[in-house]
Amino acid sequence: MKQKINYFTIMTTGRTGSDYLQCCIDSMPGVITLTGKTYFKNFFTKFNFNLKKKNKKILINKFLEEYKNLFENDILENKIINIDKLKFKNNFLKNVKSIVLNEKNFIENIFIAFEQTTRNKLKSIKSIVNHSHSLEETDYFIKLFPKAKLIITIRDPLENLISGIENWKKFSGKKINRSHNYFYTYRIYRDLQFFKKIKRKKTYIKLENSYLLKEKKRLLKFLGLKYSNKINIATYNGIPWIGDKLSQTRTKDGSFNIDVLKKRADKFFTKKDLFLLKYFYQDYQKFGYHKKKYNFFDKLKFKILSFFPLSYELKEVKKNPLKISNYYFIIKRIYRFLNV
């Protein structure tokens, strides 16, 4: 592509609607986005590729083998797609035939080959939107593309935490690791701290507002795209998306699932939990969540109460009181709270 292309990447801060947002962008004219999250850092690290020496056919075959979910039906994401992998492979190999591959141009040509294989409207493309999703992948992507802009999806941190704890446990059952409670409690805080430190153009999309027309128009302005009604329907390669397997309720037509806006924190958490978590997540106040001014006595109260298990931690202990890992992750969580 000879025209100037702007790069963007989407990162979540938990269960905050990043998939929905990407799917709304999916059918938009003037933009390329793949059919799901990308883990390019993980790909290169896992296979320890030296791109300059690696056979290009072997490289793209490995990519297709590792990321079938971008081209075929995906059970976890509830995707129904069937993209011609052979056509994609041939497009990629033709485009990179005369260049020396590196990590950056490999990623660029993945997006270009994808567009050629699906819509093939390269001349009208203004933006490429990656869905790096995790903090680690996002950090990797923006180092490769220093001019890339950030789209960060956020949500009421308490509702985010409930969804992260409950939905993963219902989906995975006993398979889920005992670190899960700790991981989700901390990542909602950690991810926002990561973004605060990044000095580049970025925009935050609140899950609670993500379906509103004015929010969609604001996002399109950030992407440098003209308005189209296609932004209002979530799709994967043009096919409506009904929501992932973790979601307890879904839509059937690609519309926004209004059920995710139901507030459950007051019933799910104890009063002690609510105080501790609101204090811990107080940086989210800048987005309008749980606004309150804390004083010295609140800080002292927070420090003291941090030593006591949260209600959802206590449930795990009661289920398996002899599991040392339960106590280990509670101690880790206490450490995080004390260092706010």
Q: Give pLDDT tens digits for 95-126.
A: 999 998 999 999 999 999 999 999 999 999 99
* Length reported for the chain: 340
Task: Judge residue 305's burial from the number of C-beta atoms within 10 Å of its C-beta, 0-12 exposed, 13-18 middle, 19 or more buried.
Answer: middle
Q: What is the pLDDT of residues 10-63, one digit of tens each?
A: 999 999 999 999 999 999 999 999 999 999 999 998 877 777 677 899 999 999
Task: Judge residue 85's burial from the number of C-beta atoms within 10 Å of its C-beta, 0-12 exposed, 13-18 middle, 19 or more buried.
Answer: middle
Question: In degrees rounded to 5, what are phi and psi of residue 176?
Answer: -70, 140
Helical H segments across 118-252, by residue range: 135-144, 157-172, 180-197, 213-223
What angle do the packed helices 18-26 and 213-223 form, to 10 degrees? 70
Antiparallel, parallel or unpaired: β 149-154 and 202-206: parallel
Which residues does 155 contact at the CB level (< 8 Å), separation at least 6?
A: 13, 14, 15, 16, 17, 206, 207, 208
Q: 73-77, 87-91, 171-175: lowest mean pLDDT where?
A: 171-175
Q: Buried b / exposed e across 114-149, counting CB within 10 Å, b at 16+?
A: bbbbbeeeeeebbbbbbbbbbbebbebbbebbeebb
Set out the domains of the chain in order of their start, with CATH numbers.
6-259 (3.40.50), 263-338 (no CATH)
Q: What is the pTM of this model?
A: 0.92
Which residues does 311 contact at the CB level (< 8 Å), separation at least 6?
A: 269, 270, 272, 273
Percent of the chain with pLDDT over 90: 76
The tokens describing 126, both together, are 């203004």
Give 172's pLDDT tier (boundaries 50, 70, 90).
low
| Distance from C-alpha of 145 to C-alpha of 154, rounded to nearest angstrom | 23
